[in-house]
Amino acid sequence: MKIKKKNETGYVTNVDIKGISPCLFSSKKNPLTNEKCKETFQTINLNDNFEMPDDNLINLYYSALGLLGIYLLFKMYEKK
């Protein structure tokens, strides 16, 4: 199966053009915002530690979810 590629023209609002990534334009620059294309990689910051909130109700909720998950895993394992 061949995929047919074609170009079409049409009207686009300026608001929509401002939201288009500059990397999608042939000049690699958005003509309205003058923003240039930035094709870069980003590294993940592994130093962001998740901290549990101090609210007792939220801690109870997370604990209940954890116990429910353990119960479900136990029941699925028990059926085999």
**Tens digit of pLDDT for each residue in 1-51?**
788 888 888 898 999 999 998 988 889 999 999 999 987 776 776 666 677
Quote the pLDDT of residue 8.
85
Better-predicted residue by pLDDT, 60 or 54: 60
Instruction: Supply 45's token pair.
Output: 């910051």
Predicted TM-score (pTM) of this structure: 0.40
User: Could you tell me which of 55, 54, 74 has the C-alpha nearest to residue 66?
Assistant: 74
| Residue 8 bridge partners (DSSP) | none
Quote the pLDDT of residue 40.
77
Q: Is 70 exceeded by the pLDDT of residue 80? A: no
CB 71 within 8 A of CB 63: no
